[in-house]
Amino acid sequence: MTTLLLVRHGMTEWNRVQRMQGRSDIDLSEQGRADATALAEVVSAWKPQTLIRSPLARAASTAALISDLPATVDDAWIEHGLGEWEGCTPDAIGSDYARWRAGEVIPPGGEREDEIRERITGAVRTAARRPGPVLVVTHGGTIRAVLNRFVGLAPGRLDPVVAPSLTVIDVIDDDVARLRSFNLTA
């Protein structure tokens, strides 16, 4: 069994104005930096041994603020590709936004559910083979996908993942994990 410490990156300016980021490479806002720095104490209490992060700037900045461990960049932990919705607000998307949050809609040109599932399955299995606890700095949609795939929590049954926050799972085997904590903040 390996414990994964899944951290959603700190707040960005696009988060503040509710723009969909997806794979747009937006860095942390000043508030995001302050919040990530505050989360460091919560994360360090788990004594992570390994650090993996998404390649996006907001994950890189968060990782640097919460841990001194050398980071392995793993593209599999990147946020979902949101296609034509990147840069849009929920109001601009309309009723499809709520359906997307519930896991019922894929944005036009966005990453398909089977692609997300395959990517996340490999990412979790790879991370679980590293010395743990394993700290993974990633994105809200990615954490929700992990919880769906490995814990069985449907997207429509989850609150949004707070920026920044810590979600802790124990990976029991290649296909099952147990949720220990969700949305822990400083």
Does the pLDDT of residue 57 top 90, yes or no? yes
Check residue 83 and give left, alpha or beta (phi > 0: left; psi -120 to 50: alpha): left
Share of the chain above pLDDT 90, in %: 94
The CATH number for 75's domain is: 3.40.50.1240
Pick the catalytic residue from 30, 41, 79, 86: 79
Check pLDDT > 90 for residue 12. yes
Of the candidates 137, 150, 163, 166, the residue with the CA atom closest to the CA atom of residue 60: 137
Could you list the residue range(s) of the whole structural domain that residue 133 is in? 2-184
Quick one: average pLDDT of 87-106? 94
Say how many domains are in the chain.
Answer: 1
pLDDT class of 104 with cuts at 50, 70, 90: very high
79-107: average pLDDT: 95
Between these two residues, 31 and 101, which has the higher pLDDT value?
31
Residue 23 has pLDDT above 90, yes or no: yes
The answer to whether 79 is a known catalytic residue is yes
Segment 96-103 long-range contacts (CB within 8 Å, at least 24 positions apart): 101/155, 101/156, 101/160, 102/154, 102/155, 102/156, 103/148, 103/154, 103/155, 103/156
The percent of residues above 70 in pLDDT, for the chain, comes to: 100
Give yes or no: 139 in active site. no
- 148-168 mean pLDDT: 94
In which band, very low, low, confident or very high, does the pLDDT at 103 lie, cut at 50, 70 and 90? confident
Structure tokens at 38: 């505050």
- Predicted local distance difference test score (pLDDT) of residue 167: 98
What number is the average pLDDT over the span 66-93?
98
Average pLDDT over residues 153-165: 93
